[in-house]
Amino acid sequence: HNKKFTKQNLRAGIFIGILLFIGFATQTVGLKFTSATKSAFLTGTAVIIVPLLQVIIEKRPPTKGVIIGTMIVMIGISFLSSGGNSINNLFVDLGTNFNIGDLLTLICAFFFALYIIYLDVETSRYDFGILLFLQIITTAVLSLLFLIFFSNTNLEPLKINLTTNLVWAIIYTSIFATLITTALQTKFQKNVTPAKAGIIFSFEPIFAAVFAFFILGEKITNFGYLGAGLILVGLLISELYENLLLKNER
């Protein structure tokens, strides 16, 4: 790949940076207006949106194993997101108390799905380093602009109380949760299909539950264990289904 900046790779890097920013922004703002339970479930719907967009944008239908795996993962996310309560309550709450936070979180899921698709498209065309640099810079600049906008319009007045915890939080979220994760995704996502990448990302709530258990002392409910198990089964099916079919045919 060409390691110099061109109009084409500038356009591609800025575009996927905009998609990444919209995903981050809508999820963050959405959390102010909705519950963590609903946010986790709605963000998880990206696992279904990705295969649909893969067909529409890349004209590449997902395999039967990925389709089956996706459905099982979505059921697992439902269990994991229920927080130990009735899954029926989760869906009733979504149906009767759907609010602006839920809408923003759905928009977040859509744009994260778009990001996965277009990252697949652009990493096959352009240099990894250039794409990573451009999307990180784009996300940072847009975040700064929105910070200024929200502060100046009093929608969310800027309040900075610089503490040690805040400094560590900024370092962690900027370096580990943004730069390193985006670099790894940009570098290696091209080795799997977007639909499989979506399924792999559904492991995020499992890791969140595990870290919450060890760091915050939060309990993992039986529903949580069941949901995590289903997500793992869904991933295994998406990976192994076609290979098992081929072996049986032989």
Q: Which of 80, 91, 127, 103 is nearest to 226 (CA)?
A: 80
- Residue 83: which pLDDT band, with cuts at 50, 70 and 90? low
What integer best gives the mean pLDDT of the chain? 88
C-alpha 15/C-alpha 21 separation (Å) is 10
What are 166-173's contacts with CB under 8 Å, separation 24+? none
Q: Which of 92-96, 125-129, 155-159, 223-227 is predicted least confidently?
A: 155-159
Please report, in angstroms and rounded to a whole number, the separation of the first and last CA atoms in the chain: 40
How far apart CA 48 and CA 109 sit, in angstroms, is: 10
- Looking at residue 250, what is its pLDDT? 62
> Where in the chain are the domains?
7-249
Please state the rounded mean pLDDT for residues 65-87.
84
pLDDT at 162 over 90: no
Widest Cα–Cα separation across the chain = 67
Rounded Cα gap, residues 44 and 105, in angstroms: 10
What global pTM score does this model have?
0.89
Q: Which of 86-90, 220-224, 242-246 has the highest mean pLDDT?
A: 220-224
Q: Between 198 and 157, where is the model more confident?
A: 198
Nearest to 86 by CA among 221, 216, 206, 200: 221
Q: Is 127 helix (H, G, I), strand (E, B) or coil?
A: coil
Say whether pLDDT at 128 is over 80: yes
